[in-house]
Amino acid sequence: MQVTERIHAIKIPFKIPVSQEISIDRFAFVYLVFGDKIHLIDSGVAGTEATIWEYIKEHGRDTKEVSSLILTHSHPDHIGSAKSIKSQTDCTVFAHKLEQEWIEDTEQQFKDRPVPGFQTLVEGPVVVDRFLAGGEILELEKGLSCKIIHTPGHSKGSISLLFEDEKTLFTADALAYPGDLPIYEDIFSCLASIRILQQVENVENLLSSWEEPIQGQEKIIKRMNESIAYLERIHTAVMNNSPVDKQQNSMELCQKVVSELGLPPFAAMPLVAKALASSLVAEQNKKNAQSCA
């Protein structure tokens, strides 16, 4: 799908097996930026490179033109085929320093964050050639650059990308999709990052990993407001279901919050429970800061 003169989107479907009986249908977008060279934003799950190569050839370009692979963060649906893409093109791999360990050591990532079906989603590790920092301008080639925006919350080193000439903002997984599984590391950081993105001006195209491209400033503003409202609703549900007078098992809390949010029962999984627990940590940190003030 062509989004702007230079930017193209490919939707990559995949499945996450949450049990022997249940698999979740998911998808993630991979983006291509066509200039004199070709620049990829994220790599999708394992095997995605074949779809990317086919798309490139259908548009009269050559896979040898792939020059850059920007990884917005280290999760499986973003780095899954990075190993093959790097080995077949010798492109430069970019990422934030805080994502390095999980990109370069996928076994460690699985130990730290055991996503169901991880081994089928990720080919293996890839070396990060250059680290990106928030606020810098990355020149991909002459006349083609983007601004790096550090947007932690979903992960510590998550980044968003602003292509000013294309009036396009890539937000990766920074925006929570209303009604979707709450998956993040720090809910307060998520909210802060979205508010930073709200300040970006002159954006006509919003490109997320979790949903179709959004075009038009009014729709983009609406989408960001919905994301904040959903996260605030999640946080309220966590606090409402967390008794202050006794300890509560994290999965118990997760089940209650999932039910209150109207999410399917399979959403009560460890990955979601860990995300929800970040509300409790954030509130405790806030209280500690207030008591020290």
pLDDT of residue 290: 66
Whether pTM > 0.85 for this model: the answer is yes
Give, as one character, the DSSP assignment of residue 255: H
Domains of the chain (ranges plus CATH)?
7-292 (3.60.15.10)
Over residues 141-150, mean pLDDT: 97
pLDDT at 291: 65
| Dist. CA 168–CA 203, nearest whole Å | 6
Q: Give the residue-averaged pLDDT of 92-112.
A: 97
pLDDT over threshold 90, residue 69: yes
Instruction: Report which of residues 250 and 133 the model is more confident about.
Output: 133
At residue 245, the pLDDT reads: 56
Q: What is the DSSP letter of 123?
A: -
User: 3-state DSSP call for residue 116?
Assistant: coil
pLDDT at 55 over 80: yes
Strand 23-34's sheet: what is its strand order? Answer: 7-17, 23-34, 38-41, 66-70, 92-96, 130-132
Say yes or no to pLDDT of 94 above 90: yes
Over its C-alpha atoms, the chain yields an Rg (Å, rounded) of 19
Strand partners, 17: 23
- The answer, yes or no, to whether residue 293 has pLDDT greater than 80, is no
172-199 average pLDDT score: 96
pLDDT of residue 173: 97
| Mean per-residue pLDDT, 112-141 | 96
The confidence score (pLDDT) of residue 136 equals 97
Enumerate the H helices of the chain as residue ranges. 48-58, 76-79, 82-89, 100-104, 106-112, 118-121, 187-198, 217-240, 250-261, 270-292
Is pLDDT above 90 for 57?
yes
Model confidence at 72: pLDDT above 70: yes
Helix/strand/coil for 145: strand
Tell me, what DSSP letter sits at residue 129?
A: -
Q: How many CB atoms are located within 10 Å of the residue 194 CB?
A: 22
Q: Can you give the pLDDT at residue 7?
A: 98
Among the listed residues 278, 281, 280, the one whose alpha carbon sits nearest the alpha carbon of residue 240:
280
pLDDT value of position 242: 84
Place of tokens 């970006």: 200
Record the tokens describing residue 271, joined without a space: 């990955």
39 vs 24: CA distance, rounded Å: 30
